[in-house]
Amino acid sequence: MLASGPLPVLKEDEVLIRVQAAGVNRPDVQQRKGLYPPPPGASSILGLEVAGEVVALGQMASGFYPGHKITALCNGGGYAEYVAVPCGQCLPWPEGYDALKAAALPENFFTVWANLFDMAELKPTESLLVHGGTSGIGLTAVQLARAQGSTVFATAGTDEKCAFIERYGATAINYKTQAFEEVIGQATGKRGVDVVLDMVGAHYAQRNIQSLAPRGRLVQVAFMQGSKAEIDLLPIMQKRLTVTGSTMRPRTAQEKAEIAAALKQKIWPLLAQAKVAPVIEAVFPLEQAAEAHALMETSTHIGKILLRVSG
């Protein structure tokens, strides 16, 4: 059910955006269930990414102007007609994009860049295993890694999803019929991959460690099947592995602005050239946000689920 409320009050470093489209993400579902509270000072309204038009700027906000078409990583409040966002977390629409395609970018691209390329430092000569290969994050990781020349493996739960992954030049692994650690071992001559990007969590922890090459990096971005696991530490020592991970929402505005700057320089040109593109599964009107969440919770979708807010 939609409700009315006051316009957001702009802070001095924020821009006010008239929202045209908003992305739906698993943290939204968790927040709705009371399992992922917003950080202090953030809007209690759901929504972590939007695209729309700038209508006002705070006194210290710069780089944009009223009427500018932008997409933004929000701290909250995206499921609304208007949202206030720190200007450093905003980016122009890539050339040739509309509001829906632009709204499909921030959460996935900020997350993948920060974890896969900044923290894990995936190199073109290295190999990557992505779990949840047809999720928004998964498809973003597959595309960006392949765009730089990395060898990519990705897991999915159906033959249809595996076939979709392989369109992007990755080797797909059906985790319901294949043990991914065995496939990785066979494909790499028992060496393993250099980086694993995981959102499954506890159930995959030891198998991920087994799948890593010497000096490999395990990067955790979610834990859909639990955050607590019993693991054997010996392989971490023997192979000199790094186990890391992060969440995006609690990062500072400065950290997010640095990620946005890197995306604008290194990834936005790839989007404009159609070398990388978001995959959109479904678009719902804002008043059907519950139906959008229901689809998200089935995990049958491929790519992004979006809300259309205004024209």
Domain segments of the chain: what residues?
Answer: 14-105+251-308, 109-245
Q: Within the chain, which residues score under 50 in pLDDT?
A: none
Structure tokens at 269: 């040109």
Quick one: pLDDT at residue 189? 98
The partner residues of 299 in beta bridges, in order of sequence, read none
What homologous superfamily does CATH list for 14-105+251-308?
Medium-chain alcohol dehydrogenases, catalytic domain (3.90.180.10)
Quick one: pLDDT at residue 39? 87
Q: d(Cα 277, Cα 153) in Å, to the nearest integer?
A: 19
Query: How close are the terminal C-alpha atoms of the chain, in Å?
Result: 20
What homologous superfamily does CATH list for 109-245?
NAD(P)-binding Rossmann-like Domain (3.40.50.720)
Exposure string of 182-215, with b = 16+ CB inside 10 Å and e = fewer, is ebbeebbeeebbbbbbbbbbeebbebbbbbbbee
Is the Cα torsion angle 222, 223, 229, 235 positive or negative in sign? negative
Cβ atoms within 10 A of the Cβ of 273, count?
13
Quick one: pLDDT at residue 99? 98
CB 309 within 8 A of CB 24: no
CB 233 within 8 A of CB 254: no
Quick one: pLDDT at residue 244? 97
In degrees, to the nearest 5, what angle opens at C-alpha 72 toward C-alphas 275 and 143?
25
Sequence-distant (6+) residues with CB within 8 A of 71 are: 49, 50, 51, 90, 91, 92, 93, 102, 103, 105, 106
Is the Cα torsion angle 258, 264, 266, 267 positive or negative in sign? positive
Exposure string of 17-29, with b = 16+ CB inside 10 Å and e = fewer, is bbbbbbbbbbbbb
Strands 242-245 and 212-220: parallel
3 state SS of 186: helix
CB 142 within 8 A of CB 133: yes
Quick one: pLDDT at residue 3? 87
Quick one: pLDDT at residue 253? 94
